[in-house]
Amino acid sequence: MKKKILALMFLLAVSASLPQAGRAEVEWKVLQNIDLKARPLDVAPSADGQRLFILSPGELLIYSLPEGRITDRVTVDSSFDRIVPLSRTDVLTVSSSTKKNLQVVMLENIYKIDVSGLPYQGPKDAPVTIAVFDDYQ
């Protein structure tokens, strides 16, 4: 026991006598200030780094980095307090520590296409889904 204490004292004395490593200064530069209008609970980047998911009570905000603005707001259960993006850019998890619940959700973009004045067949207000298969060669 006495040898361990002496060895520890020796190491402390040696480390105190060594020159301290140089310390670099850090500068803080605000690139953008985002007014959320709500208290942020959690923030996570998308897998591709193009979006920030910002969770506030009852709402998921989607901030587009290329556009530099909040592009979408999605209503969520107000008990959700954490978000974690997954490896796909359109899938993330939202969880509630109070309700002990986790949901895996997929985000789908909805694009509005102006078809006014174009010919159509069938009901004017019928929903249309366009599937793009871009993984074929």
Q: What is the pLDDT of residues 29-75, one digit of tens each?
A: 888 888 888 899 999 998 888 999 999 999 999 999 888 899 999 99
Helix (H, G, I), strand (E, B) or coil at 9: helix
The ranges assigned to domains in the chain are: 32-106
| Residue 13 phi, psi dihedral angles, 5° rounding | -65, -40
Tens of pLDDT, residues 87-106: 888 899 999 999 999 999 99
Given the candidates 2.10.260, 2.40.10, 2.60.120, 2.60.40, the CATH classification of the domain at 32-106 is: 2.40.10
Closest to 73 measured CA to CA, from 37, 124, 104: 37
